[in-house]
Each structure stands twice: as C-alpha cells, then as structure tokens.
Amino acid sequence: MALAEAGKRPIVVDLDLQFGDVGIALGLSPERTIYDLARVGGSLDPDKVADFVTEHPSGAGAMLAPSRPDQAGTVTVEFLRELYSVLRARYDYVIVDTPPGFTPEVIASIDLASNLLVVGMLDALSLKDTKLGLETLALMGCDPARIRLVLNRADTSVGIKRSEAETILGRTPDAFVPSDREIPRATTDGQPIVVAAGRSEAAKAFHGLAALYLQDELVAEAASNGNGNGSGSGSKGKRRRLGRAKQARS
C-alpha cells in the first residue's frame, strides 16, 4: 500500500495457498482467485491473468489465495513461473506473501525473486525460526545483499532486546514495526494500517520499508544511466519482492 501511495503499481500474490488471508486483510472479496486462474489451463497471457487480479482502491493489485485449502494443489511450480513472468512485465513490484515453510512453491518463488523480505518477531520461538530461515536461504545460495529483515512487534517487552536479537540473527534488521492494536482493528475492517492510521508509528515503519525499495530503484536507474544503455539485467527497474512468514501487512 505504501508503494501504491508512492505512485507505483504493486501487486501482491497470496502464496499462502491453504490459509491465505490477504483478501480479508485488504477488504477484498475473492470472486476470482489464483486457483480459478490455475484451473483455466493453457498458457498464460497478460489479458488472461488480468481477469483474475482483484483491484484494491489504492491502485495495488491482488492475486488472491484459493478460498478453500483443498484447492491449493492446483497451483504448481510451473504455473507460478509463468505467472510471475507475466506479472513482472505488468507491475512495478510483484510481492509474494508466502506461508511459513519452505514448500516447493515457496522455494521456486525464492529462486525467481530479485529480493527477499524476511519477517521475524522478538520472541525466542520466532527468532529461532527466523535464524533457521536465514540460514536456509544462505544454503540455497541467496546473496545476503538481496535479503532484508524486518522485526515485527519489535517494541513488545518479551525479555529479548533488539541488540540481543541482532546478535542471534547475525544481522541488523532493516525495519522495526511496533505492536499497535490499530493493526488487528484495521485488519478486521479490511484496511491496511497505512490507510487506516497513516500517521501511526507502524505505518511510518512500512513507509520507511517502502522507501528502501524505492531508493534501490533510483540507485539501479542511476547505475544503468551511468552505464550508457542499461542493458545488464534487462529488468528495467522492475522488482519482485518476496515476503516470508510472520509478515505484518502493509
């Protein structure tokens, strides 16, 4: 939402294929989901995909999760590969909200992503999972430079300080989102926090996070202008983001 407010065109793909709730969190009705698109069969083209995107009033798009867990199996890795390719050409940011866990679909999405966003919390169990997640990404050969780390509920007093968390995780988080009771309230209302309470500290954290990616884009553009023709990646500044488990909705 913060990216849409900045004039970009983002789309979120809810890859929590069994229990995805991006639609509810954004107040969208799941008339057409990723399951319906996967069921159509045949190759994907931009017009076909567009028919299954749910539009949010902010200007962001959403590819919603299946409405029932038993529909999850229809979404294959091959389908996702094709889907991301189509979305990447059409949107400035393709944000994949993953379920907790390295399923084949999540692994494929990580491999195809240009950037990864790992979200953890400041309690012992979450820090253990976050550390394991970061280690697994390293084993998968992910360049640490394309990983960002967010700590959610980072102000809650649970006996672990931010500095201790940094030592455990071996890196400094790029953003801290405080606990804010407006967030579940906004979720219930189907409103992202940056819309429901744009001046709250939580919304500021999400704006700060969006600013990091917008800044990356400026740096990439400057670098490609400096190179004369900007050929290198051929991505034309398009980015794909991947959010892992424990993600607070922005």
Ligand X SMILES: Nc1ncnc2c1ncn2[C@@H]1O[C@H](COP(=O)(O)OP(=O)(O)OP(=O)(O)O)[C@@H](O)[C@H]1O
Contacting residues toward ligand X, per CB under 6 A: 16, 99-100, 152-153, 177, 179-180, 183-184, 187, 202, 245-249
Contact characters 191-230, Mg ion, x per CB under 5 A: ----------------------------------------
What single letter denotes the amino acid at residue 214?
L
Question: Could you give the CA distance from residue 79 to residue 61 in angstroms, rounded to a whole number?
Answer: 19
Rounded to the nearest 10°, the torsion over CA 195, 196, 197, 201 is -70
State which residue, 61 or 99, has the beta carbon closest to ligand X.
99
Check: CB of residue 250 under 8 Å from CB of residue 206.
yes
State which residue, 130 or 247, has the beta carbon closest to Mg ion.
247
Coil/strand/helix, residue 55: strand
State which residue, 49 or 175, has the beta carbon closest to ligand X.
175
Check: CB of residue 169 under 8 Å from CB of residue 156.
no
State which residue, 13 or 86, has the beta carbon closest to ligand X.
13
Kindly determine how many residues on this chain lie close enough to bind Mg ion according to the rule CB under 5 A. Answer: 1
Query: Which residues ranging from 87 to 116 are in contact with Mg ion (CB under 5 A)?
Result: none
H/E run at residue 2: helix 2-5
Q: Angle at Cα 204 formed by Cα 59 and Cα 217, nearest 5°?
A: 60
Check: CB of residue 144 under 8 Å from CB of residue 113.
no
CB of 50 to ligand X, least distance (A): 26
From the list Mg ion, ligand X, none, partner contacted by residue 184 (C-beta under 5 to 8 A by kind):
ligand X
Query: Which residues ranging from 228 to 247 are in contact with Mg ion (CB under 5 A)?
Result: 247
The binding site for Mg ion (CB under 5 A) comprises 247
